[in-house]
A and B are shown apart, each in its own frame.
Chain A
Amino acid sequence: MNGLKEKIIQNLIAENRWKLFLNGLGITLEVTFFAVLIGIVLGFIIAIIRSSSKYTFKSATANLIMRVLDFICRVYLTVIRGTPVLVQLMIMYFVIFASSSNKVLAAVLSFGLNSAAYVAEIIRSGIMSIDGGQLEAGRSLGFNYASTMVYVIIPQAFKNVLPALANEFIVLLKETSVSAMIGLSDLTYGANLIRSRTYEAFFPLIFLALIYLVMVMLFSWLVSKLERRLRNSDR
């Protein structure tokens, strides 16, 4: 029992090692937060472009622009989903950010751009799940296409895909752990550092896993609360 206590102290408290966890946690949360933000905004834009590309607009120019944008989006999705996120991260940091050493920004951009591709497909599946009559009802009242999307289609689509979206963000949060590969001092990096100092793998890694687990559980709980609120109309 004494040995256990000693080891915990050695791995977590001695030399302020908990600070490695705390600072790492801060970086992990920072990267995740901004990556989610990029993912949502860009993902929504891509989803709307992709699901509007089949729609025939009145002006020929609008149709042409939509088709070009749709093509760009499809290339983007193919590339992002076709390559590992770790490779994307390394390209971002060692190639694109070669002359800079802003690891946080490189990680935020990599994970954000990566997540956007998945978010886009999730949202698009949500938009496609909405009955065509909803768009017609909106249009028949006099709303233009964009307003109908904003007031009628997107809110319903969002509600339908919320579980899938939450899943994507849980994956993203955990995925940021690979950014130790570019030397970003995130949570995983901190735990690993302790392991290399104390020659003790068990406590730092289990503690690391616990922190991720608690964060994910907290997030899941928040999402389920939101889901319940949005389900008001389904009673």
Chain B
Amino acid sequence: MTDNNILIETKGLKKSFGQTEVLKGIDLKIKRGEVIVIIGPSGSGKSTFLRCLNLLETPTGGDIYFDGNNLMDKHTNINLHRRKMGMVFQHFNLFPHMSILKNMTLAPVKLLGFSKAQAEEKAMTLLKRVGLEDRAKSYPSQLSGGQKQRIAIVRALCMEPEVMLFDEPTSALDPEMVGEVLDVMKSLATSGMTMAVVTHEMGFAREVGDRVLFMDEGVIMEQGTPDEIFNHPQNPRTQSFLSKVL
């Protein structure tokens, strides 16, 4: 790894589930501070690709470099790198048996050695940023979907990650709650966070993305700036997909 500006690089990343090849060799470089938005039809492999980046799915081939470390190397301790890769899931996956504050402070206290007070102070600052400081003592079951997802985002941010991975963060939300989550993601992008976002929100992709990838059938069919992808798509598959969703 020579280019210090590249945070994540995948080389020939492949993933098969049994006989089905879901990813057919993906090469991608994500620069620090870049916001990558991955779009594409269901079953195109975009979620699988994102989940491979922090090895929630184990790739069947290829390499992943994060901050210069090959995550596919047997001797790499993936747990250490995952701390720096925040992940937000479609179904929030908050810990239902813990209060919001506990959800947010568990990992910093147990893994980063923060004191409880330090971690709580940081958590409260982040809660204020997303306007949920009054819910610190609540439990996840008491929150709306949009609130849960905002908490999931700040829970990941408590670990001070270098990149945030979003796996369809608004797909499980009621329509009126999508906006509040996208707003948090927008402000995160503005603050310079490196982000990889799998989404069906074309408006978000157009407005916030630095680069948009169109994936289909396990490959990146086309990539470019939002303007290039949305206004002048070259690949017929991209054109047909966009004509259906826009």
Q: Which residues of A contact B (CB under 8 A)?
A: 56, 58, 131, 133-134, 136-144, 147, 151-152, 155-156, 159, 230, 232-235
The docked-state distance in angstroms from the alpha carbon of A150 to that of B111 is: 14
The docked-state distance in angstroms from the alpha carbon of A230 to that of B98 is: 11
Across-interface contacts of A58 in B (CB, < 8 A): 74, 78
A235 contacts B97, C-beta separation under 8 Å? no
Is B64 interfacial (CB-CB < 8 Å)?
Answer: no
Across-interface contacts of A156 in B (CB, < 8 A): 95-97
B79 contacts A142, C-beta separation under 8 Å? yes
Q: B106: nearest residue on chain A (CB-CB)?
A: A151
B54 to chain A, nearest CB (A): 6
B97 contacts A143, C-beta separation under 8 Å? no
The docked-state distance in angstroms from the alpha carbon of A160 to that of B17 is: 32
A232 contacts B139, C-beta separation under 8 Å? yes
Across-interface contacts of B229 in A (CB, < 8 A): none
Is B89 interfacial (CB-CB < 8 Å)?
Answer: yes
Is B31 interfacial (CB-CB < 8 Å)?
Answer: no
10 extra A-B contacts, CB within 8 A, seeds A151-B110, A233-B99? A131-B91, A133-B91, A137-B95, A140-B85, A141-B83, A141-B159, A142-B111, A151-B106, A152-B95, A155-B97
Known: A58-B74, A142-B80, A143-B111. A133 touches B89 (CB 8 A): yes
A142 contacts B93, C-beta separation under 8 Å? no
A140 contacts B111, C-beta separation under 8 Å? no
The docked-state distance in angstroms from the alpha carbon of A152 to that of B97 is: 8
Interface string of B54-80 (1 = CB under 8 A from A): 101010000000000000001000111
Is B156 interfacial (CB-CB < 8 Å)?
Answer: yes
A233 contacts B89, C-beta separation under 8 Å? no
B102 to chain A, nearest CB (A): 10
Across-interface contacts of A141 in B (CB, < 8 A): 82-83, 106-107, 111, 155-156, 159
In this complex, the interface size class of chain B, counting residues with CB under 8 Å from chain A, is 20 to 34
Across-interface contacts of B80 in A (CB, < 8 A): 142
Interface string of B127-148 (1 = CB under 8 A from A): 0000000000001111000000
B47 to chain A, nearest CB (A): 12
Is B87 interfacial (CB-CB < 8 Å)?
Answer: yes
B93 contacts A133, C-beta separation under 8 Å? yes
Across-interface contacts of A143 in B (CB, < 8 A): 79, 107, 110-111
A-B contact pairs, 8 of them (CB 8 A): A56-B58, A133-B89, A137-B93, A139-B82, A143-B111, A151-B106, A233-B97, A235-B142
Q: A138: nearest residue on chain B (CB-CB)?
A: B95
Q: B91: nearest residue on chain A (CB-CB)?
A: A133
Across-interface contacts of B58 in A (CB, < 8 A): 56
B141 to chain A, nearest CB (A): 6
The docked-state distance in angstroms from the alpha carbon of A56 to that of B110 is: 24
Across-interface contacts of A155 in B (CB, < 8 A): 97
A158 to chain B, nearest CB (A): 9
The docked-state distance in angstroms from the alpha carbon of A159 to that of B141 is: 15
B141 contacts A140, C-beta separation under 8 Å? no
Across-interface contacts of A235 in B (CB, < 8 A): 139, 141-142
The docked-state distance in angstroms from the alpha carbon of A140 to that of B53 is: 11
The docked-state distance in angstroms from the alpha carbon of A142 to that of B140 is: 21
The docked-state distance in angstroms from the alpha carbon of A154 to that of B140 is: 18
B97 contacts A159, C-beta separation under 8 Å? yes
B15 to chain A, nearest CB (A): 14
A140 contacts B82, C-beta separation under 8 Å? yes
Across-interface contacts of A138 in B (CB, < 8 A): 95
Across-interface contacts of A56 in B (CB, < 8 A): 58
B207 to chain A, nearest CB (A): 26
Q: A230: nearest residue on chain B (CB-CB)?
A: B97
A11 to chain B, nearest CB (A): 50
The docked-state distance in angstroms from the alpha carbon of A235 to that of B99 is: 12
The docked-state distance in angstroms from the alpha carbon of A47 to that of B140 is: 27
The 9 A-B residue pairs whose C-beta atoms are closest, nearest first, are A142-B83, A137-B93, A140-B87, A133-B93, A233-B139, A141-B107, A142-B82, A144-B79, A142-B111
B98 contacts A233, C-beta separation under 8 Å? yes
Known: A136-B56, A143-B79, A151-B110. A233 touches B96 (CB 8 A): yes
